[in-house]
């Protein structure tokens, strides 16, 4: 996967997809959770869907990073298996491969 062309999904785009498609919220509820207006949420969600579709259709690696966000969780990426993990407490070992090569992406404010 490291040799594949990459597509970037911003954290706020990831969160929009998570709220709508994983938590099954409607756009109004999701916008309130993200503390943005409904039209802003719609733009973020549309861009997220386009980015994910591009990665799937064109066979590109999908990376989640960057963007503007506030999180109550720690976000870490494993240096061995590259999986992204979020947790309310600091993560010492990867829950997927148990490696201790964790890279902090974001600490709660």
Q: What is the pLDDT of residue 88?
A: 81
Provide the H-helix boundaries in 1-109: 11-17, 27-34, 38-58
* Domain annotation covers residue 69: no
- 35 in the same domain as 84: no
Q: What is the pLDDT of residue 107?
A: 59
Q: How far is CA 96 from CA 48, 69, 80, 84, 104, in A?
A: 25, 25, 10, 10, 16
Q: What is the pLDDT of residue 30?
A: 95
Phi, psi angles (nearest 5°) of residue 46: -65, -45
Of 99, 59, 107, nearest to 78 by C-alpha is 99
* Domain annotation covers residue 55: yes
* Domain, as residue range, for 101: 74-106
Ramachandran region, residue 98 (left: φ > 0; alpha: ψ -120 to 50; beta: rest): left
Q: What is the pLDDT of residue 17?
A: 96
Report field, pTM of the whole predicted structure over 0.85: no
CATH code at position 34: 1.10.10
Residues of the chain with pLDDT under 50: none
- State the total domains in the chain: 2
Count of CB atoms situated within 10 Å of the CB of 19: 21
Q: What is the pLDDT of residue 50?
A: 98
């Amino acid at each position: 996967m490291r040799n594949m062309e990459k597509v970037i999904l911003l954290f706020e785009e990831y969160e929009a997809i998570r709220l709508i498609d994983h938590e099954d919220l409607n756009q109004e509820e999701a916008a309130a959770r993200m503390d943005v207006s409904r039209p802003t949420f719609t733009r973020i969600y549309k861009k997220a869907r386009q980015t994910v579709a591009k990665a799937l259709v064109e066979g590109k690696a999908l990376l989640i990073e960057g963007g503007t966000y506030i999180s109550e969780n720690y976000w870490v990426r494993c240096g061995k298996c590259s999986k992204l993990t979020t947790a309310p407490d600091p993560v010492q070992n990867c829950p997927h491969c148990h490696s201790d090569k964790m890279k902090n992406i974001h600490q709660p404010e």
